[in-house]
C-alpha cells in the first residue's frame, strides 16, 4: 500500500478491504505527490501499545488479521 501497488494489494486482501484501501491510496495521492522518511539512527526504544489477533475463519487458523500499534522512541534530526 505504501508504494501504491494496487495489483499486489488486490491479491492480498478481500474485495471490501481492497475497495477501502484503494480509496485511501487515491486520497493520499491527491494530497501528497510523495512522502519520504528514513530512520537514520537506531531506535532507542520500541513499546507495544496494543496487539490484536482476530480470526476470520474459525475453521482455518491460517486466516487471521493481526494489528499492532507500536510506539518508536527515536532521536529526531
Residue 12: pLDDT above 90? no
pTM over 0.75: no
Domain count, the chain: 2
Tell me the pLDDT tens digit for each residue of 22-60: 888 888 778 777 767 777 788 889 999 999 998 888 888
Residue 1: pLDDT above 60? no
For residues 53 and 74, membership in a common domain is answered with: yes
For residues 26 and 57, membership in a common domain is answered with: no
Once rounded to an integer, what is the mean pLDDT over residues 4-15? Answer: 81
For residues 55 and 68, membership in a common domain is answered with: yes
For residues 18 and 45, membership in a common domain is answered with: no
For residues 46 and 63, membership in a common domain is answered with: yes
Q: In 1-77, which ranges are E strands?
A: 45-57, 60-73
Enter the C-alpha cell of residue 57.
475463519
Burial state string for 19-56 with b = 16 or more CB within 10 A and e = fewer than 16? eebbeebeeeeeeeeeeeeeeeeeeeeeeeeeeeeeee
For residues 77 and 45, membership in a common domain is answered with: yes
- Give residue 68's domain range: 41-77
Residue 13: pLDDT above 70? yes
Amino acid at each position: 500500500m505504501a508504494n501504491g501497488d494496487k495489483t499486489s494489494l488486490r491479491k492480498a486482501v478481500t474485495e471490501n478491504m481492497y475497495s477501502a484501501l484503494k480509496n485511501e491510496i487515491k486520497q493520499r495521492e491527491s494530497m501528497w505527490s510523495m512522502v519520504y522518511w528514513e530512520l537514520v539512527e537506531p531506535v532507542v526504544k520500541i513499546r507495544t501499545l496494543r496487539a490484536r489477533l482476530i480470526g476470520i475463519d474459525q475453521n482455518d487458523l491460517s486466516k487471521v488479521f493481526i494489528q499492532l500499534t507500536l510506539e518508536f522512541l527515536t532521536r529526531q534530526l
